[in-house]
Structure 1
């Protein structure tokens, strides 16, 4: 498959030319980029697929929510609605997208909004908020954020950096210059100094950019309601894993360290689960003769499992959710957090504390 994608390289050259011209038009002021008086933080990546944007967005929310009235703004990928929507506790993934639904479930006291037009979304949120976090907005050049966090997946950095459709890059690597900080995500917990230097050589941060390394921090299992559960996985446990995410490999590796018996039901990123999908999972789970067995899914997938038409079947299954966070290597969290706090403090026009 990898070699077949290389046959698409001529199309990548054409795609790259279009992206370069588009970015030049924004940089030259031919296309309008809007700035805002309140702090706007963008989290994004250059590649398609997951690089840990949601865990990073959640880290920023935890860092700032107690001092500032904040809102997250996403496109709402995969939703069936259009326009600006401020979510409520009852908003489904079909209305706002799976990642915003996840944010709202975890942080019910903040504003979680979606709008495909980020400029319009910010205009609607700005009067009542002090800070806006844009999820997956690095290529949304119509907004000029005050602070940009750019993520690179550690494993993807080892691959050839080719543009779509031959590779996974949405824009050339030079586009990294717009970031204030660069984070290499999903690193091994123990990343040697030599490996860090090799990753830095791949990313090539500019002198004004700080470079950080993070790993995935898996958290205790929860049920679909978000409540913690006491569940032990050992070598005799058969684990059915249900995913519809861009890169399930880290999750498979993590659970594979605990159980020898894994059955993976794998679907494309943002896949909308059907009754047929759940029935297949239920039948295989029922047919499994293991004394100890369970089903694990991701937080993002759990939002799509909550759709009304699936509820009856899903509620009959012992589905557990594996939450993830991020862990900074090299004790870098304090420095990273301080960069964010300093930016927000310097650009906040309100009092800040509620």
Structure 2
């Protein structure tokens, strides 16, 4: 508590800087561009852990049959610069773990690109893939040089933005009132059983900071069947080692607690660049303790996989757990998709 009090002056200074920056965009002093190609932005007010990757994957799955879809991300954690498009040679070092996951999952069905300057990346996508009709802008909320046609704000149920504070006191990148830019709010990682009374209470708190009557929908985490390194469906053994390098591994670990006995949890920072020595350490622990499974998330596997060829893992299996976003209420999902369809059709009509 004392530390938070000491950090407040820094939060105040940071908050004023961000407020001034946003004000300059709001009054048009700083330029923000809206492209002719349809764009849907996905982002949050906090520093991570809201489920952007499953949200973008959900949107891709719903629109890839109807549109020529592309995704544009910053490519956080990559060691390259500028514009790049994913291909079969790409690694997490080249384009980042999240874009690599998009490419690994959807392959040739969509275009996956990265550029730290989204305003530069969109024209590049259109130059290389002129047939592109819809671009999903990943983690775009604070990148205000691009003004998407539709902006989706994510916030978690257990740590909502309205109950959080600006950095470094809390985890917010900007004021709660940044939510006014959102066209819809998705509450992620909600309990599967959520009463209407709790929903109403939650919505009231959100609507204090958004535009009037912005739709608010509730989603939860979906866990499909785990797979092995070859993509074949696997079941969990009774005991396992868990490795995570994601912003908030608590939901993942809670899911596994009812399925397998986690004997050891190696927890790393979000987007951690795993090394062969890390993999060797996990394998040594498994061999010493007669364990055969190392459980990882799909996102972490993007950064772990290249290092497995450098070590002997024949006695230990990697179990990869896909994680998805699911709407709690089917009627809310239908309303959300209808809203997106309406806005996209409106873009087509000019």
**Matches of 2:96 and 2:268, distance apart in 1:** 17
Aligned to 2:165: 162
Match of 2:194 among 163, 188, 191: 191
The CA deviation at 1:102 is 0.3
Q: Name 1:132's counterpart in structure 2.
A: 135
Pairwise CA distance, 1:306 = 2.3
CA–CA separation in structure 2 for the residues paired with 1:282 and 1:306: 14
- Native 8 Å contact 2:294 2:318 kept in 1: yes
Q: How does 1:1-354 map to 2 (within 5 A)?
A: 4-109=3-108, 110-127=110-127, 128=130, 129-157=132-160, 160-204=163-207, 205-225=210-230, 227-233=231-237, 237-289=238-290, 293-307=292-306, 309-313=307-311, 316=314, 317-331=316-330, 332-348=332-348
2:15–2:175: 8 Å Cα contact kept in structure 1? Answer: yes
Say whether the 8 Å CA contact 1:238–1:263 is kept in structure 2.
Answer: no
What is the aligned residue count? Answer: 342
**8 Å contact from structure 2 (residues 73, 139) kept in 1:** yes
C-alpha displacement at 1:315, in angstroms? 5.0
Post-superposition CA distance 1:73-126 (Å, at most 9, x none) = 000001010000011022000000000000000010210000001001011113
Return the offset for 1:206.
Answer: 3.1
- Structure 2: where are the runs of 5+ without partners? none
Give me the whole-angstrom Cα distance separating, in 1, the residues matched to 2:20 and 2:223: 41
Aligned-partner Cα distance in 2 for 1:159–1:138 = 16
Q: 1:313 aligns to what SS in structure 2?
A: coil
Q: Contact (CA 8 Å) 1:220, 1:228: kept in 2 or not?
A: no
**In the TM superposition, what whole-angstrom CA distance separates every residue of 1:296-335 from its partner, at most 9, and x where no partner exists?**
101111010123x542327543001100111112321111
Q: Measure, in 1, the Cα distance between the counterparts of 2:39 and 2:2.
A: 40
Backbone CA RMSD of aligned residues? 1.8
Q: Distance in 1 between matches of 2:320 and 2:221?
A: 15
Structure 2: distance between partners of 1:41 and 1:326: 17
Q: Deviations over 1:248-274 (max 9, x none)?
A: 000000000122444211000000011
Structure 1: gaps spanning 5 or more residues: none
Between the aligned partners of 1:13 and 1:7, the Cα distance in structure 2 is 11
Q: How far, CA to CA, are the matches of 2:197 and 2:308 in structure 1? A: 48
Distance in 2, matches of 1:13 and 1:120, equals 32
Give the superposition deviation at 1:289.
3.3
Whether the aligned pair in 1 keeps the contact of 2:156 and 2:189 (CA below 8 Å) is yes
- What is the deviation of 1:277? 1.2
